[in-house]
Amino acid sequence: MKQPEPTASANEPVNPVAAYLRMDRIPHIWCPGCGLGTVVNCLVRALMTCAIPRNDISIVSGIGCTGRVAGYLALDSFHTTHGRAIPFATGLKLANPKLKLVVVSGDGDLFAIGGNHFIHAARRNMDMTVLCVNNFTYGMTGGQVTPTTPLDAIASTTPYGNFEDPFNLPHLAESSGAVYVARWTTLHVRQAVKSIRDAIRKKGFSFVEILSPCPTLYGRRNRLGDGLEMMRQFKEKSVVRNGADTREAGLDFKGGILCGTFIDRERPTFLDRYNETMAERLGHAFTPYGGVL
């Protein structure tokens, strides 16, 4: 979708990412101190350096506070049903293999309702980037426990503390077959931009987790302070170790945060294997929907 380039009067600064935003929908709905605006900024800056034609990029999100991201981006973007962003993106990819798919969604949407889709897309090495904004809670629906809420953390559905072991997302992504896996926080904006860019350029299933403050529903309940204070905690607790073993990337309620690019490897994608088989059997490479490649 083409947007007019931003213009400014002499005294009015130009938002450097405005060309990628649907400015008619700004201001956004997110709370003061929420990390989602920072993630959008990182994603747009990564897209700006990717040199991929804008018509070849599609953004897909699920439901929740993060699900709103698709609606703010001036790209072909899709706000899908809860947990179904990855199968929706899979359909787009199979119908038009030239598209670069970026799924942006939250920890609840991607790993509870959509957890099944995540592991199978990674197993198939479906060519797409999944960007998970992990704020350890369901923000939009009232602060319920999610598959990443740390043990002992308070949620609206675990008022005495969470007693379920959370997922270690980088390890889940690696174990399921992702070819690129990284984790940063909203404090690590330069590293996040680079990782998102590398993930988008990577052929295959790439995964970037960004830890992000939700001061309204997670921080307040757990006495972690406002958004700025939660960013201070990211600074104090983060340890960057590129190439670290993802088994060490589990998160405690108040423990350290292992960040870095953990996995960067090669595997044939779903379409590579599909087309190899079709070429052997039929003499042509086809998309699953019949177009000759």
Minimum distance from residue 261 beta carbon to ligand SF4 (Å)? 25
Residue type, 232: R
213-232 binders of ligand SF4 (CB under 6 A): 214-217
**By rule CB under 6 A, what count of residues binds ligand SF4?**
12
Minimum separation from the CB atom of position 213 to ligand SF4 (A): 7
Does residue 30 belong to the site contacting ligand SF4 (CB under 6 A)?
yes
Secondary structure element (H or E) that encloses residue 257, with its range: strand 257-264
Half-sphere exposure of 155 (CA within 13 A, CB side): 26
Q: Which is nearer to ligand SF4, 130 or 214 (CB)?
A: 214
Q: Phi/psi of residue 176, each to 5°? A: -80, -15
- Of the two residues 46 and 65, which places its CB atom closer to ligand SF4 in the complex? 65
For residue 31, the minimal CB distance to ligand SF4 (Å) is: 3
Nearer to ligand SF4, 64 or 114 (CB): 64
* Contact call for residue 67 and ligand SF4 (CB under 6 A): no
For residue 102, give every residue at least 6 positions away whose Cβ sits within 8 Å of its Cβ, in sequence order, or none: 43, 47, 57, 58, 59, 60, 128, 129, 131, 200
Backbone angles phi, psi at 189, to 5 degrees: -65, -40
Q: Which is nearer to ligand SF4, 130 or 217 (CB)?
A: 217
User: What is the C-alpha separation between 73 and 82, in angstroms, rounded?
Assistant: 19
Of 36, 43, 210, 251, the one binding ligand SF4 (CB under 6 A) is: 36
Give, as ranges, the residues between 145 and 164 that touch ligand SF4 (CB under 6 A). Answer: none
CB of 164 to ligand SF4, least distance (A): 21
Q: Is 139 in the site for ligand SF4 (CB under 6 A)?
A: yes
Nearest CA to 265 out of 177, 189, 190, 200 is that of 177
Find the helix packing angle between 36-50 and 189-201, rounded to 10°.
Answer: 50
Give which of 234, 109, 108, 246 is closest to 168, Cα–Cα.
246
65 binding ligand SF4? (CB under 6 A): yes
User: Taking CB under 6 A as the rule, does residue 61 contact ligand SF4?
Assistant: no
CB of 88 to ligand SF4, least distance (A): 22
Which 197-216 positions form the footprint of ligand SF4 (CB under 6 A)?
A: 214-216
CB of 221 to ligand SF4, least distance (A): 11
Name the site residues for ligand SF4 (rule: CB under 6 A). 30-31, 34, 36, 65, 135, 139-140, 214-217
